């Protein structure tokens, strides 16, 4: 059963400490929402878990299925089953979406997919996310709109089938239709096919959903909500906590953490 265990994680950028002791456990079948104001360190948590070289772990541990995640290289973490849908997906000039995805699938599965099978899966994945099939030949994320980039991240999520997915503000910059399409993709990944609670049995996957706003939580229902402020989790609860934030905002927490 995949589990991501974060213990007392401290992270710095340069000499500046950004995360100041994060504790969080995500088990398979669970969806955790992390909500917090801008600048509270949500993306720092996401990047640090993925292994971005700019972020230095100053103390703490992170285990994925009991294995030390922090000892692994970026690509090893991904192959171990961690996925980060980035807030700002990177444009990679000259590398087509199709070529990129085939390389990624080959790396994660340990063998190259059969060409026909890959073409079929890619087409199906793109259709499900209302991505025009012409995107397969375009350069990765280059010239994509904000919404197109986010759909492309979820396409990767569905094709790579990780154990634990961190989704960093996947909802930002999406209009209502795109938000629904993207949420459906996340729910397919969770093994919940959009027919309301308990529709699917739930997949063997865990989700860490980072968001600033509550609107995506109407489509992707979290089991736990964590409030993030000043580089740590300051309050935890169930879905009802999201409603409280919706009504009251983050002011109480930003004042307390300042």
Ligand X SMILES: Nc1ncnc2c1ncn2[C@@H]1O[C@H](COP(=O)(O)OP(=O)(O)O)[C@@H](O)[C@H]1O
CA-CA distance, 155 to 55, in Å (whole number)? 26
Residue 75, contacted partner among Mg ion, ligand X, other proteins, none, CB below 5-8 A by kind: other proteins
Q: Quick check: 95 binds ligand X (CB under 6 A)?
A: no
Residue 103, contacted partner among ligand X, Mg ion, other proteins, none, CB below 5-8 A by kind: other proteins
CA distance readout (Å), 63 to 3, 49, 95, 182, 219: 8, 10, 33, 28, 29
* Nearest partner of 28 among 225, 188, 170, 190, judged by Cα: 190
Rounded least distance, CB 151 to ligand X, Å: 21
Q: Quick check: 170 binds Mg ion (CB under 5 A)?
A: no
* Closer residue to other proteins, CB minimum distance, 66 or 94: 94
Contacts of 216 (CB under 8 A, 6+ apart): 170, 171, 179, 183, 209
Sole binder of ligand X in the list 36, 51, 89, 185 (CB under 6 A): 36
Q: Quick check: 143 binds other proteins (CB under 8 A)?
A: no
> What angle is formed at CA 238 by the lines to CA 83 and CA 5, rounded to 5 degrees?
40
CA-CA distance, 76 to 39, in Å (whole number)? 28
Q: Quick check: 84 binds other proteins (CB under 8 A)?
A: yes
CA-CA distance, 202 to 71, in Å (whole number)? 30
Sole binder of other proteins in the list 50, 186, 192, 210 (CB under 8 A): 50
Strand-pair partners of 59: 10
Q: Quick check: 44 binds Mg ion (CB under 5 A)?
A: no
Binding residues for ligand X, rule: CB under 6 A, are 13, 18, 36, 38-44, 54
Binding residues for other proteins, rule: CB under 8 A, are 50-53, 73-75, 77-79, 84, 86, 89-90, 92-95, 99-100, 103-104, 107-108, 139-140, 156, 160
């Amino acid at each position: 059963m995949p589990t991501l265990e974060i213990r007392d994680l401290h992270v710095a950028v340069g000499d500046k400490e950004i995360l100041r002791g994060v504790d969080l456990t995500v088990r398979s079948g669970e969806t955790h929402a992390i909500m917090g104001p801008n600048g509270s360190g949500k993306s720092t948590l996401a990047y640090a878990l993925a292994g971005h070289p700019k972020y230095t772990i100053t103390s703490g541990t992170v285990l994925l299925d009991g294995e030390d995640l922090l000892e692994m290289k970026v690509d090893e973490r991904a192959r171990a089953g961690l996925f980060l849908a980035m807030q700002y997906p990177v444009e990679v000039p000259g590398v087509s979406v199709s070529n990129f995805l085939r390389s990624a699938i080959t790396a994660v599965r340990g063998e190259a997919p059969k060409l026909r099978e890959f073409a079929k899966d890619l087409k199906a994945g793109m259709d499900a996310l209302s991505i025009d099939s012409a995107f397969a030949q375009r350069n990765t994320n280059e010239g994509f709109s904000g919404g197109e980039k986010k759909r492309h991240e979820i396409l990767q999520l569905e094709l790579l089938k990780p154990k634990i997915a961190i989704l960093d503000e996947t909802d930002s910059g999406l209009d209502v239709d795109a938000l629904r399409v993207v949420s459906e993709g996340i729910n397919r990944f969770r093994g919940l096919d959009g027919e309301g609670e308990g529709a699917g049995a739930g997949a063997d996957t865990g989700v860490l959903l980072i968001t600033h706003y509550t609107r995506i939580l109407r489509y992707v229902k979290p089991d736990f909500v964590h409030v993030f402020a000043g580089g740590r989790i300051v309050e935890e609860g169930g879905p009802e906590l999201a409603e409280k934030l919706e009504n009251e905002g983050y002011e109480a927490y930003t004042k307390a953490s300042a």
